[in-house]
Amino acid sequence: MACCRRVKVLINSLRTSFTSTPLLRSPFRDSSSIIFPNFGSSWISSTKVSGFSSYSSISQRLGISTRYHHNPFSNVSKRFYFVDRHQVHHFRPRGPRRWIQNPRNVLIVVLVGSGVLITVYFGNLETVPYTKRKHFVLLSKDMEKKLGETQFEQLKAEFKGKILPAIHPESVRVRLIAKDIIDSLQKGLSHDQIWSDLEYASPETSLKHDVMTTFSGREEELGINWSRQDEILDDKWVQQSRKESREKGSMSKPTTTHLEGLNWEVLVINEPVVNAMCLPGGKIVVFTGLLKHFRTDSEIATILGHEVAHAVARHIAETITKNLWFGILQLILYQFIMPDLVNTMSTLFFRLPFSRRMELEADYIGLLLLSSAGYDPRTAPKVYEKLGKVAKDSTLQDYLSTHPSGKKRAQLLAQAQVMEEALMIYREVSAGRGVEGFL
């Protein structure tokens, strides 16, 4: 009996201590509402004030379920879990649920994205005349034309006062040769489109037989002592693409819509620069420095044919598209490799080889335009070799430059199959029989 009395006294003292005001409150205990279904409401209200951490341990020993609600005024971090009816704590991920965690959403995005990419790719896939090479061009034809016209106006503003008048002998000569090249282009495409006559741009214009036999005995003159195995550029890809085009038939018609409705203009600038260019939109620019080194009409026709070929093949628009993809690839590689190394490797293995291939393609198309205009295509190899000497080609030009060396270009044109076709066209034109549709 004495033991029972002592136990009762101890329990009464414990109850009295719990109902009294605490002397010390834990700063890490949040004032959470706790539900006790088996006790009276008066006792529960008193326990809400206590805040002793020991009370939490007592409730856990008694097996009482608790639910915590976040108190915004408490310094304790928010609890991202809830308790189900089986007293199991379920943890929720922090933040909103991401869409990528849903397999259905991922599948929809992949299917829609793939459809868009396929549509954009095949919708902008074009065929280059003659070589029948497929290339992907994102830049629209109207935008390409506007870029060419804008650059043309900038050149006129930059060289204001140095532009030769239309009646100058050099201007008349260049304009007549360019007209022959443009006429041959129209024959080569065999389209019934009517182009405006070639004009001389005003400075005030506002922006609105067997090839080996033919070259026998001249190998040393042209420098044709080479091994095809050692050449980094060859024309195998040209013949391969043309073969695939013949197999596909009418499905691989060359893209020439960008040439429709062009207002061809010629500008001769009195500047000692050995250069010429044909901007998108049919704007031809020639510097007098080039005319001092190349005096014959055939030589000038070779260079103009090459420059016009760049416009025919849309090389500027293709370069802009390629640079876009190269830029995206570089941004990805920047995350893993040093930027300087990425830029160097991208230039050596992507940009420069691509540029040299475009120059070779322009050489081939220009050679056909040259022969169709009535100029001897056998002049072209000598022109490119001479151009290399003027530009002082180095041994590393075939690897570290946007253009192949003049010697290599001469070698390729002299032995390429395109020279056979060009000579055939030249003979037909010389005999008074025009050749159409050769592009």
Confirm whether 307 is a catalytic residue.
yes
Active-site entry in 299, 307, 361, 385: 307
Convert the chain into a string of H (helix), E (strand) and C (coil): CHHHHHHHHHHHHHHHHHHCCCCCCCCCCCCCCCCCCCCCHHHHHHHHHHCCHHHHHHHHHCCCCCCCCCCCCCCCCCCCEEECCCCCEEECCCCCCCHHHCHHHHHHHHHHHHHHHHHHHHHCEEECCCCCCEEECCCCHHHHHHHHHHHHHHHHHHCCCCECCCCCHHHHHHHHHHHHHHHHHHHHHCCCCCCCCCEECCCCCCCCCCHHHHCCCCHHHHCCCCCHHHCCCCCHHHHHHHHHHHHHHHHHCCCCHHHCCCCCEEEEECCCCCCEEEECCCEEEEEHHHHHHCCCHHHHHHHHHHHHHHHHCCHHHHHHHHHHHHHHHHHHHCCCCCHHHHHHHHHHHHHHHHHHHHHHHHHHHHHHHHHHCCCCCCHHHHHHHHHHHHCCCCCCHHHHCCCCCHHHHHHHHHHCHHHHHHHHHHHHHHCCCCCCCCC
Active site residues: 307
